[in-house]
Structure 1
Amino acid sequence: MIEQFKPEITGKGLRIGIVQARFNEDICNALLNACVTELLAQGLTEEDILYITVPGALEVPLALQMLCQSEEFDALIALGAVVRGETYHFDLVSNESGAGITKVGLDHNMPIANAILTVENDEQAFARVVEKGTDAARVAIEMACLYEGLDEFIGFTSDEEEA
């Protein structure tokens, strides 16, 4: 039988950072509400959550990187909304913010839940905010627990990797 590692998934004792873009603010605030509601339902307290805002989706990766460098968080969450317009700018912002978020997570060994919506219009965004905000919270918690639990299970530490 193949051995499977399954960590206990709980938000209790975790510290989560949220970076939210302010552009498309109504959509982003709805994402935030769903996300925080789920984090609290999963055992985090308000004191366990740090929330910051940045102007737009392109600024999210830098703020995430700064939070990673603080070494105070078990996982991070990126919130934002990029709504298609009539120009190529939508593709640029969507692709670059996503790539930046992925790079930060990999460079810093930090679980980051990417909940930056990329949609055609506001209606599509509002139809997805609750599910995407809730999913971001769950992903951040699960990946933080996986990272911590697997680290203990296999005896790996990031300090050993750097040595």
Structure 2
Amino acid sequence: MGEYKPEEGSFNVGAVRIAVIAARWNSEVTDGLLAGAVRALSRHGVSDDALEIYRVPGAFELPLASQRAAQTGRFDGVIALGCVIRGDTPHFDYVCSETTRGIGEVGLTENLPIAFGLLTTDTLEQSLERSGNNAENKGEEAALTVLEMLTIFKQMDGDA
């Protein structure tokens, strides 16, 4: 199975402001996703002053907080980070489905790059593998996705 990796090194975003919305639920995972996102943004010249980090209770709150950030007009992109681990009830399916739908809807209605950094895993171990200080960190991938989309938007607008 092929894996998507953003094309790192080809970004042309200039001075941007990014909101990072991270869930507190499963913080042992989401803290790692957040660290990965910040690392990637810093590596590509996004200063700490250009980042605003907000923590929300859980994954279900990511779409609303992302929408609020987008509607302020202060951000060029939003990174939504969370983790839902399958349990014994259908709750996992409901939260994953609605969070996914909500984040996608925000990007479309607000016309803003919203990165989907929601882990939906079967085990804590899978989540930790995808949020560690390694090449598989999905928070880092989400940050790179926002930068790539901002670059594409600039090209579409004729600004690149």
Q: TM-score range by the shorter chain?
A: 0.7 to 0.9
Matched AA of 1:39: L
The alignment-based identity, stated in percent, is 38
- CA shift at 1:12, angstroms? 3.8
1:41 aligns with 2:48: no
Alignment gaps of 5+ in structure 1:
1-7, 154-163
2:121 is equivalent to residue 119 of structure 1: yes
Map 1:12-161 to 2 at 5 A: 12-130=14-132, 131-152=137-158
Calculate the aligned-residue CA RMSD, in Å.
Answer: 1.2
Partner SS state of residue 158, structure 2 = helix
CA distance in 2, matches of 1:42, 1:63: 25
**Size of the alignment, in residue pairs?**
146
Q: 2:13, 2:154 within 8 Å by CA — same for their partners in 1?
A: no
CA separation in 1, counterparts of 2:129 and 2:147? 24
Cα deviation for residue 74 of structure 1 reads 1.1
Q: How big is the shift at 1:151?
A: 1.6
Kept in 2, the 8 Å contact 1:32–1:133? The answer is: yes
Deviation at 1:11, TM superposition (A): 4.9
Q: What TM-score results when the alignment is normalised by the length of structure 2?
A: 0.87
After TM superposition, give the deviation of residue 24 of structure 1 in Å. Answer: 0.4
Counterpart of 1:5? none
SS of the residue corresponding to residue 71 of structure 1 reads coil
Report the Cα distance in structure 1 between the residues aligned to 2:14 and 2:130, rounded to whole angstroms: 27
Between structure 1 and structure 2, the one with the greater Rg is 1
Q: State the SS of the aligned residue for 1:53.
A: strand
Write the distance in 2 (CA, Å) between the matches of 1:127 and 1:141: 23
- C-alpha displacement of 1:10: 3.5
The one-letter amino acid paired with 1:123 is: E
